[in-house]
Amino acid sequence: MALSAQQIPRWFNSVKLSSLITATQLGKHFQRPGRTLSHGFSAQPQMSSDNCFLRWGFKTYRTSSLWNSSQSTNSSRQEISSAQSALLPSINEQTQKTQRIPSFDSELSLEALDDLPPLSPLQPVSEEEAIQIIANPPLPPDTFTLRDYVDHSETLQKLVLLGVDLSKIEKHPDAANLLLRLNFEKDIKQILMFLKDLGLEDNQLGTYLTKNYAIFSEDLENLKTRVAYLQSKNFSKAHIAQMVRNAPFLLSFSVERLDNRLGFFQKELELSMKKTRDLIIRLPRLLTGSLEPVKENMKVYHLELGFKHNEIQHMITRVPKMLTANKRKLTETFDYVHNVMSIPHHLIVRFPQVFNTRLFKIKERHLFLTYLGRAQYDPTKLNYISLDKLVSVPDEIFCEEIAKASVQDFEKFLKTL
C-alpha cells in the first residue's frame, strides 16, 4: 500500500538511521560516471557514502513534496534549491564534466514504498505534521434536529429538494436513524419512481413522504403486490392514486390486512362490493384507521339514536365520515336537530350532511330563523326549509334566499346571543 504525503516525512525519519548503516551500498548504486541531476545539478563520478545518503534523502524529500497537493510550486522550488545548496556544495563546479541521468522520481519507485511496514496509529505526530492534517467536521454525536446532518447527507439534501419537511419527521425518534442509513440511489430512488408511476405528481411527493417516510423501509415488491391486490378488486389506477394521497399509510398495510378491512365493511354494513368500493374511495382512511370508532358509532346510530339498519346504510354511503365522527358530537347534533328543531328521523336520513356540520352553526341559523318566524322544516307546509340548505350554503345565500334578510342583520343578531 502506497504511503500518503503526510506519512512520507514520518517514514523518512524512521528509516534514517538504518540508511546511514547501508550508505556504502547506496554509494555503489550511484557510482555511475557522467550523470546529471534534475534542475541543472550534476553528480560527481565518485562520491562518499555520506554524500550518497544525503542525495538519497534529498530524493525522498523531493518525491514527498511532489505528492503533497497543499504545497505551492514556488515553495517547492525554494526547498529544492536550498536542499541542493546545503547537501551538494561541490556539484555546480563540475556541471560541464558530466552527462545527464534520469530524474529522482524514476529511481525511487512507488513499488519500493509498498514493501515498507505500515505506521502504527500510536506513533507520535510532530507539530509540523499535525498542522497539515485536514479533517472533515465531525457529525454531531447527539442532536435534536436533522438540520445538523443535512450538510453531511446527500439523502437528506435531496429529500429537502423534493419538499419533505424534516422538522415534522424529526419528531419521530426512529426517523433520523432510518433516513441517515439510506442511500438515495439504492434505497430511495426506486420508491420515488414507483410512486410517480402510481400517479403521484412531483409536487405531491414531499407532502406524502413527510407523512409516510417509513415507506422507504418497505420492500418494493411488496408495494407492487398491494397495488395489484387493489386492482384485482376493481379499484382503478386513478382511484388508487387518490386513495394513496388521502391515506398515506395505505400501502404500508399487508394484503391480508387490506382484505380483512374490505371484508369487514362489506359484511358489517351489508353493502355490495360496488358500494363498499365507493365507500373506501371516498374515505380510504377506513382501511388504515382503527375499527373501534366505527363499531362504536354503528351502535350509537342504532341503539341510542334509533335509526334503522337501512337508514344507517344510506347515511354512511352519503357521508362516510359519519363512521369515524366523534361520538359526543354525533349525539349532541342529533339531540338538537331532532328534539329542539323537531325534525323527524326520515328527514335527517335524507340530509345526513347535518352530522358533518358544526353544531354552533346549526344553532345560530335556527335561532335567527326562529327570530324572523321562518323556522319551518316540514316539507308539507309553505316556506319549507330543508336541512341541506340550512347547513350547506354560505351566509350570504342563507340570508338572502332563506332568511330574507341582510347579512348585517344576521351579524347584529349574533351579537345578542
How does pLDDT run across 236-245, given as a tens digit for each residue? 999 999 999 9
365 pLDDT more than 60: yes
| pLDDT, mean over the chain | 76
What is the rounded CA–CA span in Å between residue 303 and residue 80? 99
Instruction: Please report the pLDDT score of residue 48 as a whole number.
Output: 42
Instruction: Please report the pLDDT score of residue 186 as a whole number.
Output: 85
pLDDT mean over 172-186: 78
The least confident of 77-86, 128-137, 197-206 is 77-86
Predicted confidence band at 152 (pLDDT cuts at 50, 70, 90)?
low
Tens of pLDDT, residue by residue over 367-385, are: 999 999 999 999 999 889 9
Instruction: Please report the pLDDT score of residue 104 as a whole number.
Output: 43
Predicted confidence band at 1 (pLDDT cuts at 50, 70, 90)?
very low
**Count of Cβ atoms closer than 10 Å to residue 334 Cβ:** 21
306 pLDDT more than 50: yes
What single-letter amino acid sits at 275? K
The Cβ-side half-sphere exposure at 154, using a 13 Å CA radius, reads 8
Written in H, E and C, the secondary structure of 115-175 is CCCCCCCCCCCCHHHHCCCCCCCCCCCCCCCHHHHHHHCHHHHHHHHHCCCHHHHCCCHHH
The percent of residues in the chain predicted with pLDDT above 70, rounded, is 65
What is the rounded CA–CA span in Å between residue 243 and residue 237? 10
Predicted confidence band at 172 (pLDDT cuts at 50, 70, 90)?
confident
What single-letter amino acid sits at 361? K
pLDDT mean over 71-85: 45
Predicted confidence band at 411 (pLDDT cuts at 50, 70, 90)?
very high
The CA-based angle 348-351-354, given to 5 degrees, is 80
The percent of residues in the chain predicted with pLDDT above 90, rounded, is 50
The reported pTM is 0.61
What single-letter amino acid sits at 253? F
- What's the Rg (C-alpha) of the chain? 42
Q: Residue 10 pairs with which residues in a beta bridge? A: none
57 pLDDT more than 80: no
pLDDT mean over 361-366: 96
What is the rounded CA–CA span in Å between residue 405 and residue 407? 7
Predicted confidence band at 179 (pLDDT cuts at 50, 70, 90)?
confident
Closest to 5 measured CA to CA, from 68, 73, 60: 68
Instruction: Please report the pLDDT score of residue 277 as a whole number.
Output: 95
Specify the long-range contacts of residues 43-52, CB closer than 8 Å, at least 24 apart.
43/88, 43/91, 43/98, 43/101, 44/90, 44/91, 44/94, 44/98, 45/98, 49/23, 49/24, 50/23, 51/27, 51/87, 51/88, 52/23, 52/26, 52/27
Closest to 333 measured CA to CA, from 366, 287, 291, 296: 366
Tens of pLDDT, residue by residue over 318-332, are: 999 999 999 999 999
133 pLDDT more than 60: yes
